[in-house]
Copies of this chain bind each other. A is one copy, B any other.
């Protein structure tokens, strides 16, 4: 019977001090959060207008303006508040907290008597509440605000937003469910949020409501088709009969492949995995395993991007992974991290944490400019200026990050993920001594991130992690028990991509033969003493990666990776016409540290490649001649930070 094997740690129990990630966490705290606050308050010129805070003022009757923005504009405020909560948990900031409290109070004033909260329908179409779940994102917005409420409560202890959102959740619970009005959310999010609310409040009805929404999806008669038939009006020109778009092609326990809008999909799967663990539902867990497997083994870009097409921002078919017309929304990679994290809870297995790491270091980070002020929605693996962003097929594939978007889901999503990174790094299984006297506590190190982790394991322990990862492969865990010793198992992931690694304990290399390694995790159970040092050394050669031959787009091509990082070629370093570049099969790949005024310090990859020289003919019996060229590859997440130009991940191999 499936159950949670480990649990997310509390955010503040792991304080990150890391040579790689602290930059991003500081960037979010110092730059991204204030920058996004200004945008939400319409205080920045030359940026796509947000109006999100103003919409709450209008809904609260405190401003006479017109509603402006997407039907889900409220969620931008919610995701920003969630990021603020995580940031406050990491480092107190009374002024920021005061401004957040003010916004929370405003949200409270925008809430309706009956608990309903949604500025679009309050201001624009009160008569249309709850009638278009397929398009109108009321449950989605509620879900994001619930997540913010839980986060803010956990970070500050303040219940105001939590109470507001409990009233909204109760309003929803009052309306929807078995024996009540039927409903299925068009854009999943409420499900995973209700599960968080359930754990924060202990109220079973939120668990049951989450389960209702999950169970109802894809059942007959299809809710969305019924709704569309009865409704008679549209917000968008949607097609409720497309039973992939909103993952309603089958009841969730029967689903076997990732389909439809990719963000919706992974938000659903995240909730499914979470629910499976909460209610010990093996059928749901098996469905999650199938969906995870299909997603990452058939429909995922090497960067952890998912969603191959702009049309419906959706999954397409197995192995259809075009690099240039790609969608790979930042939010979808973020959602994949959520999904993988929930799967890890049910089974600590590197197949989940490896994916989490892949998405984080590549497809998520690429969504943000290195200065934190520009964002990608779409994360291509091949960019061609003159076509990308211009020609219809490629119009969504921008060669340069914009400052903001009319549909601004991705920027605050990155902010909340980076500020809550701690919960993805570690997991814990603490067993009450009274009932599980024979079981030891286990601490899982999923990601290699420097910092100080404090846990109740073994009666209380602090683990200090030091690493230069991902640039180098040494990770040092120093164990500091609260008492003389701490009996617990330290479990450390060994990534599948790593073919050579070693562990040492107090500087004595451990015999690989004797190691207890299961599902890619070392399990080291001992009575830890003060200062015990477990050191992991991962070999980090530059690796040539080949796509499955079923991926049409990558036939004859190779990608370069080092550790978890995907590399790419940019025009800035390698000239234009990157399709003329070939990497000979026997060319040596070398990694070296370098520093760039814009990109900062990073490890580059150099290789002696070939460049085909075009002649005048369009078609010829003579293969083009080639000249040797030095190639300089940079980590994918850093692309698009310098001049606008070509970029390519998959390079011809010769």
Q: How far is the CA of A248 from the CA of B548 in the complex (A)?
A: 46
CB distance from A604 to the nearest CB of B (A): 20
CB distance from A356 to the nearest CB of B (A): 16
Q: Tell which of B549, B579, B618 touches A613, judged by Cβ atoms closer than 8 Å.
A: B549
Q: Which residues of B contact A620 (CB under 8 A)?
A: 545-546, 548
Q: How far is the CA of A652 from the CA of B499 in the complex (A)?
A: 30
Please classify how large the interface on chain A is, using the bins under 10, 10 to 19, 20 to 34, 35 or more: 35 or more
Q: Tell which of B548, B580, B612 touches A615, judged by Cβ atoms closer than 8 Å.
A: B548
Q: Name which residue of chain B comes closest to A300, CB basis.
A: B618
- B555 touching A325 by the CB < 8 A rule? no
CB of A296 closer than 8 Å to a CB of B: yes
Q: Which residues of B contact A221 (CB under 8 A)?
A: none
- A393 touching B614 by the CB < 8 A rule? no
CB of A577 closer than 8 Å to a CB of B: yes
- A619 touching B549 by the CB < 8 A rule? no
Query: Which of A186-194, A226-234, A515-523, A621-629 sits within the interface?
Result: A621-629
CB of A544 closer than 8 Å to a CB of B: yes
Q: Which residues of B contact A556 (CB under 8 A)?
A: 555-557, 582, 652, 654
- B300 touching A393 by the CB < 8 A rule? no
- A549 touching B614 by the CB < 8 A rule? yes
Q: How far is the CA of A312 from the CA of B297 in the complex (A)?
A: 37
- B580 touching A619 by the CB < 8 A rule? no
Q: Mark A538-553, 1 if CB is under 8 A from B, else 0.
A: 0000011111111110
Beyond A325-B393, A392-B311, A393-B309, is A296–B618 a contact (Cβ under 8 Å)? yes
Q: How far is the CA of A497 from the CA of B618 in the complex (A)?
A: 13
Q: Tell which of B298, B317, B557, B612 touches A386, judged by Cβ atoms closer than 8 Å.
A: B317
Q: How far is the CA of A619 from the CA of B296 in the complex (A)?
A: 10
Q: Which residues of B contact A622 (CB under 8 A)?
A: 546
CB of A302 closer than 8 Å to a CB of B: yes
Q: Mark A346-374, 1 if CB is under 8 A from B, else 0.
A: 00000000000000000000000000000
Q: Mark A575-595, 1 if CB is under 8 A from B, else 0.
A: 001011010000000000000
CB of A345 closer than 8 Å to a CB of B: no
- B624 touching A546 by the CB < 8 A rule? yes
- A311 touching B580 by the CB < 8 A rule? no
Q: Tell which of B296, B557, B579, B619 touches A545, judged by Cβ atoms closer than 8 Å.
A: B619
Q: Name which residue of chain B comes closest to A654, CB basis.
A: B556
- A548 touching B317 by the CB < 8 A rule? no
- B614 touching A392 by the CB < 8 A rule? no
CB distance from A566 to the nearest CB of B (A): 10
Interface hits, A316-342 → B, CB 8 Å: 316-317, 319-320, 322, 325
Beyond A316-B387, A393-B393, A556-B556, is A580–B618 a contact (Cβ under 8 Å)? no
CB of A384 closer than 8 Å to a CB of B: yes
CB of A616 closer than 8 Å to a CB of B: yes
Q: How far is the CA of A384 from the CA of B318 in the complex (A)?
A: 12
Q: Name which residue of chain B comes closest to A620, CB basis.
A: B546
Q: Which residues of B contact A393 (CB under 8 A)?
A: 309, 311, 322, 325, 393
Q: How far is the CA of A191 from the CA of B321 in the complex (A)?
A: 45
Q: How far is the CA of A70 from the CA of B38 in the complex (A)?
A: 52
Q: Which residues of B contact A384 (CB under 8 A)?
A: 552
Interface hits, A605-649 → B, CB 8 Å: 612-624
CB of A238 closer than 8 Å to a CB of B: no
Q: Name which residue of chain B comes closest to A296, CB basis.
A: B618
Number of identical monomers bound together in the oligomeric complex: 2
Q: Which residues of B contact A387 (CB under 8 A)?
A: 316-317, 320
- B549 touching A612 by the CB < 8 A rule? yes
Q: Tell which of B317, B551, B612, B654 touches A391, judged by Cβ atoms closer than 8 Å.
A: B317
Q: Name which residue of chain B comes closest to A496, CB basis.
A: B617
Q: Which residues of B contact A311 (CB under 8 A)?
A: 391-393
Q: Which residues of B contact A624 (CB under 8 A)?
A: 546, 548-549
Q: How far is the CA of A312 from the CA of B387 in the complex (A)?
A: 15
Q: How far is the CA of A652 from the CA of B384 in the complex (A)?
A: 22
Q: How far is the CA of A556 from the CA of B581 in the complex (A)?
A: 10
CB distance from A459 to the nearest CB of B (A): 42
Q: Tell which of B386, B543, B548, B654 touches A617, judged by Cβ atoms closer than 8 Å.
A: B548
Q: Which residues of B contact A654 (CB under 8 A)?
A: 556
- B614 touching A550 by the CB < 8 A rule? yes
CB distance from A333 to the nearest CB of B (A): 15
CB distance from A96 to the nearest CB of B (A): 41
Q: Which residues of B contact A296 (CB under 8 A)?
A: 618
Interface hits, A29-49 → B, CB 8 Å: none
- B548 touching A614 by the CB < 8 A rule? yes
Q: Name which residue of chain B comes closest to A319, CB basis.
A: B618
Residue among A296, A316, A543 with most chain B CB within 10 A: A316
Q: How far is the CA of A652 from the CA of B653 in the complex (A)?
A: 11
Q: How far is the CA of A100 from the CA of B530 in the complex (A)?
A: 102
Q: Tell which of B298, B547, B549, B618 touches A548, judged by Cβ atoms closer than 8 Å.
A: B618
CB distance from A112 to the nearest CB of B (A): 39
Q: Name which residue of chain B comes closest to A541, CB basis.
A: B621
Beyond A393-B311, A579-B552, is A616–B297 a contact (Cβ under 8 Å)? yes
Q: Name which residue of chain B comes closest to A557, CB basis.
A: B556
Residue among A580, A617, A619, A622 with most chain B CB within 10 A: A619
Q: Tell which of B316, B549, B579 touches A580, judged by Cβ atoms closer than 8 Å.
A: B549
- B619 touching A546 by the CB < 8 A rule? yes
Q: Mark A292-306, 1 if CB is under 8 A from B, else 0.
A: 000011101010000
Q: Which residues of B contact A544 (CB under 8 A)?
A: 621
Q: Which residues of B contact A316 (CB under 8 A)?
A: 387, 391
Q: Which residues of B contact A312 (CB under 8 A)?
A: 392
Q: How far is the CA of A552 from the CA of B302 in the complex (A)?
A: 20
Q: Which residues of B contact A613 (CB under 8 A)?
A: 549
Give 6 closest A-B pairs by Cβ, nearest first.
A311-B392, A549-B612, A556-B556, A549-B580, A552-B579, A555-B579
- Residue pairs across A and B with Cβ atoms less than 8 A apart, 19 shown, are A298-B618, A309-B393, A311-B392, A316-B391, A317-B386, A322-B393, A384-B552, A548-B614, A548-B618, A548-B620, A549-B580, A549-B624, A550-B579, A550-B580, A551-B579, A552-B579, A556-B556, A556-B582, A556-B654
